[in-house]
Structure 1
Amino acid sequence: MCGRYSLSASPEEVQTLFKYIEQPNFPPRYNIAPTQPIALVKQENGGRHFGLARWGLVPSWVKDPASFTLLLNARAETLEEKPSFRAAVRHRRCLMPANGFFEWQRSGSVKQPYWIAPPDGRLLAFAGLWETYSHPDGGDIDTAALITVDANTMMKPIHHRMPAIIAPEDFEAWLSNGSFMARDAVKLLKPAAEDLLAATPVSTRVNSVINDGPYLWDREVVEAPQKPVKAEPKPSRKKAMGGSGPDNGQLDLF
Structure 2
Amino acid sequence: MCGRFALTCSVADLSDFFSGLDLDDFPARYNIAPTQPILVVIAGEGRERGSNLPDRRAVLVRWGLTPGWVKDPKDFPLLINARAETAIGKASFRAAMRHRRVLIPASGFYEWRRPSKESGEKPQAYWIRPRRGGVVAFAGLMETWSSADGSEVDTGAILTTSANGGISAIHDRMPVVINPEDFSRWLNCKTQEPREVADLMQPVQDDFFETIPVSDKVNKVANMGPDLHEPVAIERLLNAPEKQRPGDGQLSFF
Q: Does 1:216 align with 2:228?
A: yes
Matched with 2:17 is 17
The residue type paired with residue 96 of structure 1 is I
Q: Does 1:185 align with 2:197?
A: yes
Q: Which moved more, 1:97-106 or 1:22-31?
A: 22-31
Q: Residues of 2 paired with 1:187 and 1:8: CA distance?
A: 29
Q: Which moved more, 1:104-113 or 1:76-85?
A: 104-113
* Runs of 4+ off more than 4 Å: none
The count of residues paired between Structure 1 and Structure 2 equals 224
The residue type paired with residue 161 of structure 1 is R
Structure 2 matches for 1:189-200, cutoff 5 A? 189-200=201-212
Residues 127 and 166 in structure 1, CA contact (< 8 A), matched pair in contact too: yes
Q: Residues of 1 paired with 2:144 and 2:19: CA distance?
A: 23
Q: Does 1:115 align with 2:117?
A: no
Matched with 1:153 is 165
Per-residue deviation, residues 96-119 of structure 1 (Å, max 9, x unmatched): 000100000022341000011112
Matched with 2:60 is 52
- Alignment gaps of 5+ in structure 1: 225-254
- Alignment gaps of 5+ in structure 2: 47-54, 237-254
Matched with 1:90 is 98
Q: Residues of 1 paired with 2:173 and 2:187: CA distance?
A: 23
Per-residue deviation, residues 77-133 of structure 1 (Å, max 9, x unmatched): 001110000010010000000010000002234100001111221210000000011
Residues 110 and 222 in structure 1, CA contact (< 8 A), matched pair in contact too: no
Q: Does 1:174 align with 2:186?
A: yes
Select which of 69, 82, 99 maps to 2:107.
99
Q: Aligned to 1:77, what secondary structure does the other structure show?
A: coil
Q: Percent identity?
A: 49
Residues 134 and 141 in structure 1, CA contact (< 8 A), matched pair in contact too: yes
Structure 2 matches for 1:114-153, cutoff 5 A? 114-153=126-165
The residue type paired with residue 149 of structure 1 is T
Residues 204 and 222 in structure 1, CA contact (< 8 A), matched pair in contact too: no
TM-score with structure 1 setting the length: 0.85
Q: Which moved more, 1:90-99 or 1:108-117?
A: 108-117
Q: Residues of 2 paired with 1:89 and 1:207: CA distance?
A: 31
Aligned-residue offset at 1:25: 1.3
Matched with 1:75 is 83
Aligned-residue offset at 1:66: 1.3
Residues 148 and 163 in structure 1, CA contact (< 8 A), matched pair in contact too: yes
Q: Over alpha carbons, which structure has the higher Rg?
A: 1
Q: Aligned to 1:206, what secondary structure does the other structure show?
A: helix
Q: Which has the bigger relative contact order, CA under 8 A and spacing at least 6?
A: 2
The residue type paired with residue 131 of structure 2 is P
Matched with 1:229 is none
Q: Residues of 2 paired with 1:20 and 1:164: CA distance?
A: 23
Aligned-residue offset at 1:223: 7.3
Q: Aligned to 1:153, what secondary structure does the other structure show?
A: coil
Structure 2 matches for 1:1-16, cutoff 5 A? 1-16=1-16
Aligned-residue offset at 1:16: 1.1
